[in-house]
């Protein structure tokens, strides 16, 4: 059987394979196994059954999403910069109009993601735009079979024009956050889980090792989050799933400080 890209129907994780035996994201303790067994969707089937949309979130920021939802249903962010655009996280599937819109906005110079739950169809962005920098933290390289990493890194990686990747670990060993100093934003991966109401207003925020199973982070992991983000200025956080202009640095630090003040337990903070 020839190599193909397959998406896990349960979580949306992509693998380049001829017959995936399992999904490394679903077999991991942080995710649930599919109740009815494995179902891997070839790329052509996903493309034929999914569409997508894009919207401008701010002057220099666009969001790309896939419908109907595939897997975890993440968002691909595009930061538009004169020196070269930065794509962070990826939508689960990009239609041709979505890719054409990215091209019209100037393509992609740097491509990165926080951790495997945010990879989406990153391989489609690499195939279309072939950015010189594809950056994933060294501790998550085992999950990158669907695309080719050109820039593994240790603690930080400067992507240019005030955008810097910071390794934070915790939720995933190689989890990283992208700080956009000019936009005063923190693309925080799954450092924070944000519940939002039907109007997109953030109502609760929490920090976990595993959301589905309510496994908390250790104090050491929470402290590392705190040490990394405390020196960074930001007024908003963006996960692979939500844009939360209500959560700036003070709120984020308060959530971590509260969790550090007591034994490990998952607690959702009302905003
Ligand atoms: Zn999966
Ligand atoms: Zn995650």
Q: Give the C-alpha separation, 206 to 194, whole Å.
A: 7
Please give the sequence-ordered ranges of beta strands (E in DSSP) within the chain, or none if there are none: 4-8, 14-17, 40-42, 51-58, 61-67, 76-79, 86-88, 110-112, 133-135, 156-160, 163-167, 176-180, 185-187, 193-196, 202-206, 236-238, 243-244, 269-270
Of the ligands numbered here, which is closest to the C-alpha atom of 189?
2
Q: Is 36 exposed, middle or buried (0-12, 13-18, 19+ CB in 10 A)?
A: exposed
Range of the domain at 101: 4-270
pLDDT tops 80 at residue 1: no
Q: How far, in Å, from the CA of 16 to the mean position of ligand 1?
A: 13
Which residues have CB less than 5 Å away from ligand 1 (the ion)? Answer: 8, 10-11, 13, 23, 25-26
Q: Give the C-alpha separation, 261 to 158, whole Å.
A: 33
Q: Residue 111 to residues 29, 72, 136: CA-CA distances in angstroms?
A: 27, 20, 9
CATH number at residue 31: 3.60.15.10
Total number of domains constituting the chain: 1
> Comparing 2 with 37, which gets the higher pLDDT?
37
What's the chain's average pLDDT? 96
Number of neighbours of residue 204 by Cβ within 10 angstroms: 14
Of the ligands numbered here, which is closest to the C-alpha atom of 210?
2
Q: How far, in Å, from the CA of 115 to the mean position of ligand 2?
A: 7
Instruction: Work out the angle at residue 63's Cα, subtended by the Cα atoms of residues 267 and 68, and round it to the nearest 5 degrees.
Output: 80
Q: What is the pLDDT of residue 15?
A: 97
pLDDT tops 90 at residue 161: no
Q: For residue 154, what are its two tokens?
A: 């240790």
Model confidence at 157, pLDDT cuts 50, 70, 90, reads very high
Q: Which residues contact 54 (CB under 8 A, 6 or more apart)?
A: 62, 63, 64, 65, 98, 101
Q: Give the C-alpha separation, 213 to 225, whole Å.
A: 21
pTM above 0.85, yes or no: yes
Quick one: which of 123, 137, 125, 143 has its CA closest to 30? 143
Model confidence at 212, pLDDT cuts 50, 70, 90, reads confident
Number of neighbours of residue 32 by Cβ within 10 angstroms: 12
Cβ atoms of 224 and 168 closer than 8 Å: yes
The backbone torsions φ and ψ at residue 4, rounded to the nearest 5 degrees and listed phi first, read: -150, 165
For 78-129, the pLDDT digits (tens) are 999 999 999 999 999 999 999 999 999 999 999 999 999 999 999 999 999 9
Q: How far, in Å, from the CA of 1 to the mean position of ligand 2?
A: 31
pLDDT tops 80 at residue 62: yes
Q: How far, in Å, from the CA of 72 to the mean position of ligand 1?
A: 9
Mean pLDDT of 221-245: 97
Scan for tokens 């024009």, then name that residue.
161
Cis-peptide into 210, omega within 30 deg: no
Quick one: which of 32, 90, 41, 15 has its CA closest to 240? 90
């Amino acid at each position: 059987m020839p190599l193909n890209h397959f998406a896990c129907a349960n979580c949306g994780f992509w693998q380049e394979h001829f017959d995936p035996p399992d999904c490394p994201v679903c077999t991991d303790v942080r995710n649930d196994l599919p109740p009815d067994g494995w179902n891997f969707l070839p790329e052509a089937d996903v493309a034929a059954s999914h569409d997508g949309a894009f919207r401008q979130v701010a002057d220099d920021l666009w969001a790309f999403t896939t419908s109907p939802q595939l897997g975890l249903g993440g968002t691909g962010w595009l930061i538009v910069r004169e020196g070269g655009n930065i794509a962070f996280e990826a939508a689960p599937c990009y239609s041709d109009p979505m890719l054409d819109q990215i091209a019209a906005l100037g393509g992609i110079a740097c491509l990165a993601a926080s951790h495997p739950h945010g990879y989406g169809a990153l391989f489609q962005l690499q195939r279309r735009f072939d950015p010189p920098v594809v950056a994933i933290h060294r501790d998550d390289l085992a999950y990158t079979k669907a695309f080719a990493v050109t820039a593994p890194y240790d603690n930080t990686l400067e992507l240019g024009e005030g955008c810097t990747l910071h390794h934070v670990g915790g939720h995933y060993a190689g989890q990283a956050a992208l700080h956009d100093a000019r936009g005063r934003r923190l693309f925080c991966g799954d450092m924070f889980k944000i519940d939002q109401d039907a109007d997109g207003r953030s109502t609760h925020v929490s920090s976990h090792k595993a959301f589905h199973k309510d496994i908390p982070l250790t104090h050491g992991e929470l402290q590392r989050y705190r040490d990394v983000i405390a020196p960074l200025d930001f007024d908003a956080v963006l996960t692979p799933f939500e844009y939360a202009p209500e959560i700036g640095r003070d709120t984020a630090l308060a959530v971590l400080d509260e969790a550090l003040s007591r034994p490990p337990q998952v607690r959702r903070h009302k905003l």
